[in-house]
Amino acid sequence: MSVINPSRERAIRVFREHDGVLRTKDALGLGIHRRTLYAMRDDGEVERIARGLYRLAELPPLTEPDLATVALRAPDAVLCLVSALAFHDITTEIPHAVYVALQRGAKRPRVRDVPVRAFWFSEAAFEAGIETHTVDGIEVRVYAAAKSVADAFKYRNKLGLDVAVDALKLYLARSRGLTAELTKYARICRVERVMRPYLEALL
């Protein structure tokens, strides 16, 4: 006959109430004892997905562990550039780090287990085009596809002009040539003149 451990039962219930994922400090703040948390880890009831970040082992495997980790560790950041283009499937590039945008003046996110490339945007460019998607049960902030294309042109010297042009081609093919959103974000990012000749050549 198995013995039910009330502290673990409660801890599991608290995890489930928070979509199965908790940071250590949040778990402690919600009344889960550190000893209980570590015992659950050692027994395989929760898994450590990053430093100070735990997830119920009963959940389906993470499909995007790096994105989930960054979203939880840096909730004010927004997925951008190559990571956002890959998220929307409008690039052939494979991001070897998680690209995130921060508002100018914000501190670099402290994410030790995942490679992160941070870019600081002006207030207008940072706030424009943010979407929220659920990935592995976790809310991830990411720029809209059209905003991501405009950002790629703005940061073409860092990413490569070919990355921006390819993203534009794929975006236009998927959106059937609709350009209103592109134009709007190109103006916000101040790359309308840069994008125009490529846009005209592809339409």
Share of the chain above pLDDT 70, in %: 98
One-letter amino acid for residue 132 of the chain: T
Residue scoring higher pLDDT (60 or 158): 158
Residue that is last in its domain, among 38, 56, 74:
56
Both 75 and 162 in one domain: the answer is: yes
User: CA 46 → CA 16, 136, 147, distances in Å?
Assistant: 11, 15, 37
Q: Is residue 154 part of a domain?
A: yes
- Number of domains the chain is built from: 2
**Is the Cα dihedral 116, 89, 171, 185 positive or negative?**
negative
Task: Give mean pLDDT, residues 169-191.
Answer: 90
Residue that is last in its domain, among 15, 39, 56:
56
Q: Is residue 86 part of a domain?
A: yes
Assess whether pLDDT exceeds 60 at residue 3: no
* pLDDT for the residue numbered 18: 86
Q: Is residue 108 part of a domain?
A: yes
Q: Is residue 1 part of a domain?
A: no
Interval 138-162: pLDDT, tens: 889 999 999 999 999 999 999 999 9
Residues 6 or more apart whose CB falls under 8 angstroms from that of 157 comprise none
The mean pLDDT value of the chain amounts to 90
Assess whether pLDDT exceeds 60 at residue 116: yes
The confidence band for 1, taking pLDDT boundaries of 50, 70 and 90, is: very low
Interval 64-74: pLDDT, tens: 888 888 988 88
The confidence band for 185, taking pLDDT boundaries of 50, 70 and 90, is: very high
Both 69 and 10 in one domain: the answer is: no
Determine phi and psi for 140, rounding to 5 degrees.
-120, 130
- Parent domain of 106: 65-202
Both 194 and 110 in one domain: the answer is: yes
